[in-house]
């Protein structure tokens, strides 16, 4: 099964040096354990654009979908045999990045 771990941030700062080292170590552990699929940071909400091309001319609106204090600042896509294993990895992810995370199963992603 594949899961998305979203990193929730509420500040405009990047990870500290210690957090970055802990994230690198966690990434290495994911790779060593066969759980790594992909991970990355996401630019700040000010860099976002919302595009709606469902109708005639596409509508492009600068800014995030939701204007909130919290936003997704990064993510991991992991492989885990079940939800309990994914929860354990998400707990380690939260500790590594020193932020809250959200865990959600991915639907339809082939193993």
pTM of the model: 0.90
- The domain ranges of the chain are 2-52+59-105
Cα 81–28–39 angle (5° rounding)? 70
pLDDT digit string, tens, across residues 5-21: 999 998 756 778 899 99
Tell me which fold the domain 2-52+59-105 belongs to: Alpha-Beta Plaits (3.30.70)
Measured over all CA atoms, what is the biggest interatomic distance in the chain, rounded to whole angstroms?
49
DSSP string across the chain: -EEEEEEEE-SS----HHHHHHHHHHHHHHHHTT-EEEEEE---GGG-EEEE-SSSS-EEEES-SS--S-EEEEEEEEE-SSHHHHHHHHHHHHHHHTSEEEEEEPSS---
Q: What is the Rg, in whole angstroms, of the alpha carbon atoms belonging to the chain?
A: 16
pLDDT digit string, tens, across residues 57-82: 999 999 999 989 899 999 999 999 99
Q: What is the pLDDT of residue 13?
A: 66
Length of the chain in terms of residues written:
111
């Amino acid at each position: 099964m594949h899961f998305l771990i979203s990193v929730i941030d509420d500040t405009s700062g990047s990870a500290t040096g210690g957090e970055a080292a802990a994230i690198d170590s966690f990434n290495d552990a994911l790779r060593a354990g066969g759980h790594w699929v992909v991970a990355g940071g996401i630019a700040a909400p000010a860099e976002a654009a919302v595009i709606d091309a469902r109708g005639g001319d596409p509508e492009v609106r600068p800014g995030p979908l939701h204007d909130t204090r919290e936003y997704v600042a990064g993510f991991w896509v992991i492989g885990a045999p079940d939800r309990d294993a994914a929860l354990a990895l998400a707990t380690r992810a939260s500790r590594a990045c020193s932020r809250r995370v959200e865990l959600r199963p991915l639907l339809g992603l082939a193993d």
